[in-house]
Structure 1
Amino acid sequence: MHAVISAPHLRRSVADRLADLPAYEDRYWAIAAGTGVDRAWARRLLDVAVSWIGAGRADVVDPYALALSWLPR
């Protein structure tokens, strides 16, 4: 059985997530820079992650997490 989420609750939840996105993206760029990956390559990884998720080729739905998983440690 699926839980029913009220429209106001869903709007608030989405608004909260959207408010967090700039900081989340900033963390991605900081981590990428910290590994020595240049910004162009990090952008390409992010683009590929979005493509993979869109095509159903990934087990995650977060392109930042997927792209981070490809960065050197």
Structure 2
Amino acid sequence: MIKREPYRMLKAWLVENDISQSELADVLGTTPNYLNKKINGTGPDFRLSEVRKINTSLGIPINIFFNLKVPIKER
């Protein structure tokens, strides 16, 4: 099973902007169940093409999808 950090900022943005996961799934042409797995870190990660589509269609900031924290040892 795939397990990674969930997209908490994406979840928060959807709630703040009154957009359901079903609406986002429609934009991506997938099921709400599959999208929920991606968002919660139990499914595959988002592809860059999906991030672009989400940004273009809904205006969700792209930085929500990227971890901008660089480990101290790599600075």
TM-score (norm 2): 0.31
Q: Higher Cα Rg: structure 1 or 2?
A: 1
The higher relative CO (CA closer than 8 Å, separation ≥ 6) is in 2
In terms of fraction of residues, the more helix-rich structure is 1
